[in-house]
Amino acid sequence: MGFGAPLALLALAAVIVPVLAHLMRQKDLPTVQLPTLRLLMAARAESRRRFRVRDRLLLAMRILAIVAVAVAVAAPFVWRENAFADGKVSSLVLVVDDSMSMLRADGTGTAFESALARAEASLSGLGDESEVALVWAGAPARLAVARGGSVAAVREALRSARPAARGTDMEGAASLARRALASARYARRILVLSDFAVSAASDSVEWPDAELAFQPIGDAATNVAVTEVIAASNPATGRTSLRIEVRSEAPVDLVIETTEGEELTTARATPEDGRATTNVELDASGLDALVVRALADDALPMDDRRAVLLEAPAAARTLLVDGDAAGAVGRGEVTYLSRALEVQPAAREREGRVRVRVVDAGALDRESLTEVDVVFIANVAALSQSQADALLDHHASGGGLVLAAGARMRPRSWRARLGSILPATLGSASDGPRTLQPVTPNLRGLANVNASRALSLDAEPGATIEARWSDGTPALVVGERVAIWGSTVDEEWTDLPFHPGFVPLAHRLARELSAHAVAPASTGAGEPVALPAGSRVRDPSGRDWAIGDEPFDRTDEPGVYRVIADDDTVATRFVIVPPADESDLSVGALPEDERDVATTESTHRAPVARWVFLLFGLLVLAEGALRGARRRAAQ
């Protein structure tokens, strides 16, 4: 402890004043007249004892009040340890990990609360005029306060922070720190507060050129977690089967319940090497989701529960228009495309299955486009005016269109009917072997596609050429919710359907070309979800949120979210799931960096004068109350 103005302590000499006043007061005791000398002597003795106690209390309070004033004026402070607390003017970026693993129990609170306290304390040791930015490292990383924001704004952001079941995005946090320090005026510094759990992979992060300080928060802890739940209906029994994966070092009891908390059945998981898989079958008729809850008293309660939808909603509604439906059985123009869309890639599992409907060219009309997100048209010769108008209205309302070539297609007719929305001018088909050359990274797995025939495409300004043929001509052109593939989607002109990239390509076009917002089956905490404007979302706690033009971002709480239609029915639903890798509370390695890294803490002065002034005020109030009681007793 120290004093900023030690000369003010000379005022402590003033304590002699109440001492002298006390000594003089001892001669001024009240006179009491009683009828007998014996009673008089007893009363005087009792009065002396009572007043002596009160006088000593008053003396002590007055001395303490004078001491408090003198100490407060002397600007007392205590030394506290904290990184970068050297008083230098600097451009500092605070990176605070707000991932789920930071919610582990840490003494009287959580590791996240400890990180917030340290972050706030670090602001006290900064030099005047320092620049501060705040970055949250939970996935996705976010810039909470830009560099140049006031210290008060950073403090407010720290105090209003909400915990969430997020993953860790330390790489994204480093990127935001790099942007925040661009053109910094002072010494560039970064303070990272995290538990550095193994899931964060912090040791492989590339941090910007700055003075770094890594402060580990929290200790390793044992934890029980429900890491995955997969639901499937059993057609033979009409019951629902659950496959439950649990992380635990000891046997754990599980409760399967409704989203309202009604218990349906129980199970027991017996782990081997820290993991266990349990299968449960139950009657879940009439339910749209279930919750699996582990009965555990562990360091991280948030991952003890995991919700699962019993039937995932369709992620996209597609209409396949077959221009050669009269072909060989099972070999129609859209057969391969239909099978590709019905396959569910592992990378798309949480987004729900694509809904597929197939019609021939003659059945394409306004009615067939009802409740359709994307239309795939393959080898259709031409459109009638009514069909073209229906497609134009479908596109204007946010729908998508994918056009594939074929021997039947008449390019001139397509240019005349839909030229206003096509991203490329369709030319005549030409023969000759050619190989696909992807331009964008979205087409991995299609680099060796071969074609014997293809349409010539002349891309319109603003359109994106995602792939070219080996002769340099465009092969796949994408514009505003319209894509043109210059060859066929069957084996007539190309071997596209036989390459591993065909299924991902079909799913990407089906999901990304429509402006219609469809909620995924599940997503990570904190990730925004695109939903129809004007709808309502009911979160796991039962609160309703109105949806505007921006994506819904109130996704911090794990559980089932339901999208409510105007008639108060559930239009669709999605689940926020805790990240399974965040349940491993082992502490990983600190980030490695070739530069000098500050892992030790400096000291800074933390003023305590306001607390001493508060003590002085309390002593004055207490002294006044005691003096009033003494005066009443003397009367």
Alpha carbon separation from 456 to 424, 477, 503, 585 (Å, rounded) = 9, 11, 24, 57
**Which residue among 482, 512, 542 closes a domain?**
512
**Which residue among 312, 330, 365 closes a domain?**
312
Q: Residue 426: beta bridge partners?
A: 457
Mean pLDDT of 30-45: 52
* Pick from 21, 578, 615: nearest CA to 303: 578
DSSP class of residue 552?
B
The reply to whether 431 and 331 lie within a common domain is: yes
The confidence score (pLDDT) of residue 523 equals: 77
Residue 401 tokens read as: 């269109």
- Tell me the percentage of the chain whose pLDDT exceeds 70: 82
The confidence score (pLDDT) of residue 597 equals: 46
Q: Does a structural domain hold residue 550?
A: yes
Mean pLDDT of 125-150: 87
The confidence score (pLDDT) of residue 617 equals: 81
The reply to whether 197 and 290 lie within a common domain is: no
What confidence category does residue 326 fall into, taking pLDDT thresholds of 50, 70 and 90?
low
The reply to whether 334 and 247 lie within a common domain is: no
The reply to whether 467 and 355 lie within a common domain is: yes
Backbone angles phi, psi at 608, to 5 degrees: -125, 15
* Pick from 306, 247, 256, 292: nearest CA to 522: 306
| Cβ–Cβ under 8 Å, residues 597 and 589 | no
Residue 396: Cβ-neighbour burial (10 angstroms; 0-12, 13-18, 19+): exposed
The confidence score (pLDDT) of residue 516 equals: 62
The reply to whether 196 and 333 lie within a common domain is: no
Q: Does a structural domain hold residue 184?
A: yes
Q: Is the pLDDT of residue 47 over 50?
A: yes
Q: CA-CA distance, 278 to 269, in Å (whole number)? A: 6
Plot region of 12 (φ>0 → left; ψ -120 to 50 → alpha; else → beta): alpha
Q: CA-CA distance, 566 to 52, in Å (whole number)? A: 79
Mean pLDDT of 500-526: 79
What confidence category does residue 527 fall into, taking pLDDT thresholds of 50, 70 and 90?
confident
The confidence score (pLDDT) of residue 75 equals: 73
Calculate ∠ Cα 241-246-249, nearest 5°.
145
Backbone angles phi, psi at 58, to 5 degrees: -65, -40
Lowest mean pLDDT among 72-86, 220-234, 511-525, 607-621: 72-86
What confidence category does residue 525 fall into, taking pLDDT thresholds of 50, 70 and 90?
confident
The reply to whether 214 and 72 lie within a common domain is: no
The reply to whether 473 and 336 lie within a common domain is: yes
The reply to whether 465 and 371 lie within a common domain is: yes
Q: Is the pLDDT of residue 571 over 50?
A: yes
- The bridge status of strand 354-360 relative to strand 316-322 is parallel
Sign of the CA dihedral running 116, 117, 118, 123: positive
**Mean pLDDT for the chain overall:** 83
**Which residue among 262, 297, 312 closes a domain?**
312
Mean pLDDT of 235-260: 92
Q: How many CB atoms lie within 10 A of CB 278?
A: 17
What confidence category does residue 375 fall into, taking pLDDT thresholds of 50, 70 and 90?
very high
| Cβ–Cβ under 8 Å, residues 344 and 316 | no
The reply to whether 369 and 507 lie within a common domain is: yes
Lowest mean pLDDT among 178-182, 405-409, 426-430, 598-602: 598-602
Q: Is the pLDDT of residue 331 over 60?
A: no
The confidence score (pLDDT) of residue 463 equals: 92
* Pick from 429, 477, 484: nearest CA to 451: 429
- CA 513 to chain CA centroid, Å, is 26
* Pick from 334, 229, 332: nearest CA to 289: 229
The confidence score (pLDDT) of residue 623 equals: 76
The confidence score (pLDDT) of residue 622 equals: 80
Q: Comparing 89 with 204, which gets the higher pLDDT?
A: 89
The confidence score (pLDDT) of residue 199 equals: 79
Strand residues in 479-590 grouped as ranges (E)? 482-485, 522-524, 536-538, 544-546, 559-564, 570-577
What confidence category does residue 294 fall into, taking pLDDT thresholds of 50, 70 and 90?
very high
**Helix or strand holding residue 62 (H, E):** helix 37-73
Averaging pLDDT over each range in 251-260, 327-336, 358-367, which range is the top one?
A: 251-260
Contacts of 334 (CB under 8 A, 6+ apart): 320, 321, 322, 358, 376, 378, 489, 490
Name the domain count of the chain.
5
Domain residues for the domain of 630 are 2-78+610-634
The reply to whether 278 and 200 lie within a common domain is: no
| Cβ–Cβ under 8 Å, residues 193 and 118 | yes
Q: Does a structural domain hold residue 267?
A: yes
| Tens-place pLDDT, residues 466-504 | 999 999 999 999 999 999 999 999 989 999 999 988 998
Q: Comparing 463 with 17, which gets the higher pLDDT?
A: 463
Mean pLDDT of 111-133: 87
**Helix or strand holding residue 115 (H, E):** helix 111-122
* Pick from 204, 225, 202: nearest CA to 215: 202
CATH of the domain at 90: 3.40.50.410
What confidence category does residue 62 fall into, taking pLDDT thresholds of 50, 70 and 90?
confident
CATH of the domain at 281: 2.60.40
The reply to whether 334 and 430 lie within a common domain is: yes
Mean pLDDT of 261-278: 93
